[in-house]
Chain A
Amino acid sequence: MNESNVISAEQVAAGDSAVADEPLDERLALRGPIQQLLTRPEIGALLGAVGVWMLFWLVSAPFGTVGGTANFLDVAAYLGLMAVPVALLMIGGEFDLSAGAMTGATAIIAILLAIDVNGAGLGLHLAVPLSLAFALAIGWFNGTLVEKTSLPSFIVTLGTFFMLIGAKLGFSKLFTNKVLVEGLDEAEGYDFWNGIFGAEWLRNGHLWDERRWSGFWLLRDEIWAGLLICGSLALLLGLFELTYARRSKLNVSGVVIALAGAAAALVGFGALLELDGRNSNIVYGTLTAAGMIAAVAGWCRARYERPDHSDSGVSPGWIKYLLAGLAAVGAAVVLAVVMNAEDSSQLGFFGGDFGRALFALGIALVGVLAVLAALGRVSPGYPAIGAVLVAVPSISFLVTVQAARAILFGGLALIGITLLWSAASRVRPSVWVTGAISVVIALLAFFIQSEAGSRKIRVELFTLLLLVALVLGAAAVARYLSASRTSAPPPPAFGRWTQICAVLGVAATVIFFAVEVADGDAVLYALITGVTKGGITAFIAYTLVTAVFTLFTRDEGVGRALVTVGIGTVMLAVVTRMLFVTGAELEKICTVGSDGELRCPQTQFGVVVLSFVVFAAVGSWVLTRTQFGSWIMAVGGNKEAARSVGVPAARTKTTLFMLVSGAAWITGMLIAFRLTAVQADVGDGNEFRYIIVAVVGGCLLTGGYGSALGAAVGAVIWGMISQGIGFAQWNSDWRFLVLGALLLVAVLVNNYVRSRAEKAPVKSGATVPDRSGITIIVPKGLTRSKEEG
């Protein structure tokens, strides 16, 4: 192990002085990365998105497939493309009610200008830029009027809204005598502009060019599963790095344990893949899990400082809480196993004894939790968990099997999230809670695997739950074995290496682009391929650099880099899964036509999805990282103050209005080129959707606070709900009821979670020893605590 020698030598030189430079502020409470995440404005939307996805994934077969995903992403993209700039405008303290009508207006203007009405068509090469100019002019007008008159933007843009509606109808009738403006595809320059706004990526088909890309990849499953595992691992390690204090010296026995554990897990996993049968599953499954936990334990032992367990033992209250919880869960499992699946009525296993048992259990749980709440052991909201359990079987009598299942799993997800978050927001003793939850989830996974009817649920949900259980178990082990440290780690110090990776990516982009062009490909296609490959090159380089720094330096900020790598890898895995098909899949879904040609159903991802993703990413970056973003928050939070310290407030707001109308132009063009004929009223009324979606994403209606990413996630929620109701074959008459209720829930969860997470994470009376041995109990965040004095 000469590695350890290298590290300790460096640590003496660099590490200790770094610690001395930045002493920890003793008035800061410990705040792990998960808790930091929970205070973000978009947390409600993120949790909501996961919940809604689970719900529809369970009740409908096509929802979780690539086709279903493309379907709801399309709806989400049209909405989100506008919702992101509208959110920025809202954070800047203004509304734009003309945003919806604007999307249709740009489309109609472009078509009217381009087509040959009365022999005077301008062609698209002029009409498209002119419609952009029109949109920007209206945005400028809105912004300037709001600034100059100090009227509420609500009133000003309401005026523009009505004017746009009137103008759309008036001009459509005037020029075409119809409320439908059509004929875009006959206009001059259509092919060129359609190549931009009408572009589509076809899965199972061809990307731009038939010769190049067939979307067919034999190794896809191995690749994407491998990426997923590596990504999750990087994410987990990154979170550890962000949470725990590093040792000054690597512990060799820990390294040995970690390596042995990893080897055992690999062997077990390999055996699981190769062998079949119940016994081998149990043996090798256990080996894999034990190996992984041992690897985590070894890693923590080797790398992180030991905690001082002397004064942080499990308090009697926690034991009571834990025992009550375990007893309840044990009872549930026993009841579930005893229950005879054959006997359950057509309502699924809710109709029979299980439903009644659940009901009784719920009542008991309400009682236990109410007593605990009365003793001050748990917060008063907890008995509600029992109430949910009570309600589930009652609801099941009213609904179909599918919906009942959805409610069961939705409820389970809700409880799981509640517990997770309560575990995340407490101090050390919660390691037992996390561990217990992980065991329960694992048990639940096996229960579902043996009881569930559908293969999808049996296999996919089982795997998913097992993964969650494993991650939680690892987190519990790490928490027990490692001392915490405060939040806000320094940024990665390998700045120069990051730059080298970026330069590498740009160089690779240029080379790949040149190669494609030399091959005789279209420029746009070559550009996209080049950027994709260049990006992946840069990402791989960055991953390697991060790995090296993780092992060989004492750079405390490496956790951030690991989290970035983890998220990137997981996203890469999902995209791989979505864009490529395997041979087996092709055989299943394709048919050989009478002419001997292979016919495959194709899934399309329109350019709108790409624009949406780009908008969401750029919007978040601008808001959180750039000067303009700071100015947006400032003019929305306190315009006079912002102006007084030199922020050009009027210019910032006008730019935001123009940004919204510019996005409306892009949306309008996308609509126009998709439909080629546009109704005069297209887009009208959408402005409220944009605002609702932004609010779901965590924007304050009063301005000054919010998130562009949240608005994008809100749009995805909206897309999932509006399309999912169709997929689930629910009666679509109730669509808006469901939509409204879910949106309300998302907003409430957002508010509640954030206010909880911002409050003291420390249970009253509990103390946390920090590295310097000073006992600290004061939290930071938006609320000031009493202890501060």
Chain B
Amino acid sequence: MSSDFLELKNLSKFYGNIIALTGVTTTVNPGEVTCVLGDNGAGKSTFIKILAGVHQHDEGELVLEGNKVRFASPREALTAGIATVYQDLAMVPLMSVWRNFFLGQEPKKGVWPFRQIDIDKSKMIAKAEMAKMGIDIRDTEQSVGTLSGGERQSVAIARASYFGARVLILDEPTSALGVKQSGVVLRRIVEARDQGLAVIFITHNPNHAYPVGDRFVILQRGRSLGNWAKDELSQSELTQLMAGGAELEQLQHELSQTSAN
């Protein structure tokens, strides 16, 4: 864990005249869960969308294993082994579960002019992966638009964890899930970590963040308030940090004295 796997240096992102992120610096290590926390509109989703290739940073550097990278599209990020569960889930409502599951990475069979999707394999895998999430999908032909909110979220999570080879990014994956499925997601996060993946986990729930997180990055109004390792922070401190507000400045001051950063 000494070598930095994914480094973000002074990253900034502007949407026109809106400054969504300024000067965010942090590192993400394999075999670790990095929790990104912050208020609504703090820039968490913007942060991970840069890693996922949806947006490109305007300033700063993104360094993957020592090489400066800039993902022009999500496809490039996926090829680099970075899979993401987006906050809006990135699903096509009129398409079936299995088509959504494999969208962009369809398993194929046959020789070139006749190459087609291996539909049976797709359905089988989609069903099995959903079962692993604790969701017994009736029929993978059902269109995603008719799934329940939690089922839809589970499809997105199952998809990302199936395709995430090196980095798994989850943007509020538990917001719509039941207790059982939330537990399953947290367990999958830990499993992925143990397999050596770098996991980036965004949540508003400290009860979810603290047990699984190894490091915590707190964003506020587009700026990073700092990085903390788990042993530098108690759950109640974390909760207070996430709550933000007036005592936040003070708390930050206190913490920065003990912080190694």
Contacts and interface: CB of A to CB of B under 8 A. Distances in A.
B95 to A, nearest CB: 6
Interface string A637-649: 1101111111110
A27 B138 contact: yes
A28 interface: yes
A625 interface: yes
A466 interface: no
Contacts of A638: 90-93
A646 B120 contact: no
Given A627-B117, A643-B54, A644-B86, A637 B75 contact: no
Secondary structure call for the A interface: loop
Interface stretch (A110-118, A598-606, A779-787): A779-787
A262 to B, nearest CB: 35
Secondary structure call for the B interface: loop
Interface string A597-638: 000000000000000000000000100011100110110011
A644 B54 contact: yes
B82 to A, nearest CB: 10
Contacts of A626: 115-117
B139 A488 contact: yes
A627 B108 contact: yes
B92 A633 contact: yes
B56 interface: no
Contacts of A645: 74, 78, 90, 103-104, 159
A678 B146 CA distance: 51
A637 B74 contact: no
B90 A640 contact: yes
Contacts of B138: 25, 27-28, 780
Given A625-B117, A633-B95, A28 B139 contact: yes
Interface in B40-91: 52, 54, 73-75, 78, 84, 86, 88-91
B197 to A, nearest CB: 18
Contacts of A226: none
A647 B53 CA distance: 12
Nearest to A634: B92
A634 B84 contact: no
A634 B74 contact: no
Nearest to A704: B94
A637 B141 contact: no
B193 interface: no
Contacts of A634: 92, 95, 99, 103-104
Contacts of A646: 73-75, 78, 103-105
A648 B146 contact: no
Interface string B143-185: 1011000000000000100000000000000000000000000
Interface string A745-789: 000000000000000000000000000000000001111100000
Contacts of B74: 643-646
Nearest to B84: A644
B141 A488 contact: yes
A783 B95 CA distance: 14
A641 B84 CA distance: 12
A166 interface: no
A782 B54 CA distance: 30
B146 A641 contact: no
Nearest to B120: A491
Interface in B213-227: none
Interface in B104-124: 104-106, 108, 115-117, 119-120
B237 interface: no
B47 to A, nearest CB: 15
A551 to B, nearest CB: 24
Contacts of A490: 120
30 contacts: A25-B138, A25-B139, A28-B138, A488-B141, A491-B120, A625-B119, A633-B92, A634-B92, A637-B95, A638-B91, A641-B90, A642-B90, A642-B92, A642-B103, A643-B54, A643-B73, A643-B74, A644-B52, A644-B74, A644-B86, A645-B78, A645-B159, A646-B73, A646-B74, A646-B104, A648-B73, A704-B92, A780-B139, A780-B142, A782-B143
Given A626-B117, A638-B91, 8 more contacts: A626-B115, A634-B104, A637-B95, A642-B92, A643-B74, A644-B90, A645-B74, A646-B104
Interface of B: 52, 54, 73-75, 78, 84, 86, 88-95, 99, 102-106, 108, 115-117, 119-120, 136, 138-139, 141-143, 145-146, 159
